[in-house]
Amino acid sequence: MGKTLLAQGQLSDALSHYHAAVEGDPDNYLTYFKRATVFLALGKSRSALPDIDRVLELRPDFNAARLQRGNVYLKQGHLDEAETDFKKVLEYDAKNQQAKDSLQRIKPLKGNIAEAKDMFQNGDHQAAIELLTKAIESCPWSPELKEMRAECYIAQGDLFKAVLDIRPTTKLRNDNTAAYLKLSFLYYQLGEADESLNQIRECLKLDPDHKDCFTHYKIVKKLVKLLNSVQENINKNAYEECINKANQILKMEPTAQVFVLRAKSHLCHCNSKAGFDKEAIKKCSDVLKIDPNNVDALCDRGEAYIKASQFNEAVKDYQQAQGIDGESRRVQEGLEKAQKILKQSNRRDYYKILGVRRNADKRTIMKAYRKLAVKWHPDKYEKEEDKKKAQKHFIDIAAAKEVLTDPGK
């Protein structure tokens, strides 16, 4: 049954039948050999090895198993053990070409690995990476080689490639808490807090009492909660609470550049949306010092400049954003608005006449109008010169009220 399922490619089902077959006949070397073949097909080389060892205990001259074990050792980077097996194969079968070819590969492999270690220790990381890459092609299941290359990538600042090397080692070593901890740190440095939390949880699944993993877990969990809270408050337009949470992130992580930038970006956006234009301009400028091509920060600062009646600066920000992302609808609409308001400001600024902000509601506008209408009503003035001045102001105030309380105008 196992053989039939194996032929059909149903590896997991085949494996369960081979388990039963081994239990039923624990001295049949062929059953162990077939089960090892399924383990290897599933990528479980560490599970395959004990079966191959058992085959060779039962049948030392079974060359197919010894050749298979040599290949597993070679892929795992256990070159001395692989060399022993391939030599033994040739004792039983001097013409075995696969064993000959594999033996010829081992000596230069050992040389490359030894040289890579020297390069790594001497700080020549790029040369070490090149040698390790060649070695890993022959030894793809070697956690040591992948870990060494990951350290080289970290030294070069290429954390993403380091992650790609460390990830497989979680399966290549038993209970590899160190790999999960390393992955969590790397994802944290990359700014991927959620994935950092996932990896540190895997560490704690293997060892709930792991001191370093638990310490890092508490930090990452708190950060993820704050980041999620910021986004939730943005979605709810609760901008003052967003500002509060973003400041907490900055206080918690004042040095991790990726999270500092994210927190400052939130402060830029939420201050702008909340109408705190002076603070928004300051926070957005902080973001743009770190990331000059940040389109969102340019748009947020542009909005803040408009609210602060700094229309030339707003146009400049939107034009810069357009040069970075000309397809953005937000940029296009913002630039059109800023240019229109700048043009209007060169004529009459009704907001300025009434002394209200550009986002003032109708009630605020009417309150400002009534106050100014009382102040500048011409009947309050006796001198002709003062009366003319008041009349001019009164007309401007009335015009401003008429336009600003009419949504169409």
Q: Residue 296 is part of a domain; what is its CATH number?
A: 1.25.40.10
Domain count, the chain: 3
The answer to whether 348 touches 401, Cβ cutoff 8 Å, is no
Q: Which of 193, 214, 236 is the last residue of a domain?
A: 236
- Asked, for residue 59, whether it belongs to a domain, the answer is no
- Answer yes or no: is pLDDT of 376 > 90: no
87 backbone dihedrals φ, ψ, rounded to 5°: -65, -40
Q: What is the pLDDT of residue 203?
A: 96
Write the CATH number for 185: 1.25.40
Helices then strands (H, E): number in the chain?
22, 0
- Asked, for residue 123, whether it belongs to a domain, the answer is no
- Asked, for residue 101, whether it belongs to a domain, the answer is no
194 plus 223 within the same structural domain: yes
N-terminal to C-terminal alpha carbon distance within the chain? 82
- Tell me: the pLDDT tens digits for 102-153? 999 999 999 999 999 999 999 999 999 999 999 999 999 999 999 999 999 9
- Answer yes or no: is pLDDT of 345 > 80: no
313 plus 340 within the same structural domain: yes
- Asked, for residue 267, whether it belongs to a domain, the answer is yes
Alpha carbons 352 and 396: distance in angstroms, whole number: 11
| Side-chain-side CA neighbours of residue 348 (13 Å) | 12
- Tell me: the pLDDT tens digits for 201-234? 999 999 999 999 999 999 999 999 999 999 999 9
Please give the structure tokens belonging to residue 233.
């408050």
286 plus 362 within the same structural domain: no
312 plus 382 within the same structural domain: no
- Asked, for residue 149, whether it belongs to a domain, the answer is no
Share of the chain above pLDDT 90, in %: 80
341 plus 242 within the same structural domain: yes
Specify the range with the lowest mean pLDDT, choosing from 219-233, 237-251, 286-300, 349-363. 349-363
- Asked, for residue 47, whether it belongs to a domain, the answer is no
355 backbone dihedrals φ, ψ, rounded to 5°: 70, 35
Q: Which of 347, 364, 395 is the last residue of a domain?
A: 347
- Asked, for residue 279, whether it belongs to a domain, the answer is yes
The answer to whether 82 touches 70, Cβ cutoff 8 Å, is yes
297 plus 196 within the same structural domain: no
Write the CATH number for 404: 1.10.287.110
Alpha carbons 181 and 196: distance in angstroms, whole number: 9
Buried b (16+ CB within 10 A) or exposed e, 382-402: eeeeeeeebeebbebbeebbe
313 plus 395 within the same structural domain: no
- Answer yes or no: is pLDDT of 169 > 80: yes
- Asked, for residue 39, whether it belongs to a domain, the answer is no
Where in the sequence is the domain holding 382, given as residue range(s)? 348-409
280 plus 372 within the same structural domain: no
- Burial class (CB within 10 angstroms; exposed 0-12, middle 13-18, buried 19+) of 327: exposed
Q: What is the pLDDT of residue 382?
A: 84
180 plus 230 within the same structural domain: yes
The answer to whether 73 touches 52, Cβ cutoff 8 Å, is no
Q: What is the pLDDT of residue 407?
A: 86
292 plus 218 within the same structural domain: no
